Amino acid sequence: MRRRRVQKNTVMPDAKYSSKLVQRFVNMVMVSGKKSMAERIVYSAMDQAALKVNNPDALAMFQKAVDNIRPLVEVKSRRVGGATYQVPIEIRQDRGVFLALKWLRDFARTRPGKPMDERLMDEIVLAFQGQGSAVKKKEDMHRMAEANQAFSHYRW
């Protein structure tokens, strides 16, 4: 080993739900260091989403939405003898959660018209129901990995 292992950055649980997952999402939604604004947006979106689907537990609903989005495999480009292959690779749990939260945030940001908390609420509700852009992205990623399964022997 030439370099030392990078130390994992640990996230403290958030104030309202005592959840590290929610705190990671708040940090991801945050723009220009405005954490209190990001917390207000995320908490508002989670509360509204829980009301919309008549689920009293907003945290459990959010976790289920993230699980519905979390991919299990992804494809990575590998160059072998002048050809580039899309090689399917299994994803570690923390990377899968990162991708799920990132897609949730990005698809909420691209929705037009409403305030951010409402756009985020819509994406969370759709993800909870197994629909929406983020779930479609996960299914596309899985389909791509399935189609390139013949190249899985190039994994290293």
pLDDT tens-digit readout, 117-129: 999 999 999 999 9
User: Across residues 92-105, what is the average pLDDT?
Assistant: 93
Residue 12 falls inside a structural domain: no
Residue 75 falls inside a structural domain: yes
Residue 10 falls inside a structural domain: no
- For residue 1, what pLDDT is reported? 65
Q: Which domain holds residue 30?
A: 20-154
Residue 8 falls inside a structural domain: no
Query: How many Cβ atoms sit within 10 Å of the Cβ of residue 55?
Result: 15
CA distance 136 to 142: 10
- For residue 87, what pLDDT is reported? 87
86 vs 154: which has the higher pLDDT: 86
Write the CATH number for 107. Answer: 1.10.455.10
CA distance 61 to 65: 6
pTM (two decimals): 0.88
Percent share of the chain, pLDDT over 90: 62
Residue 3 falls inside a structural domain: no
**How far does the chain reach from its first CA to its final CA, in angstroms?**
17
> Per the structure, how many domains does the chain have?
1
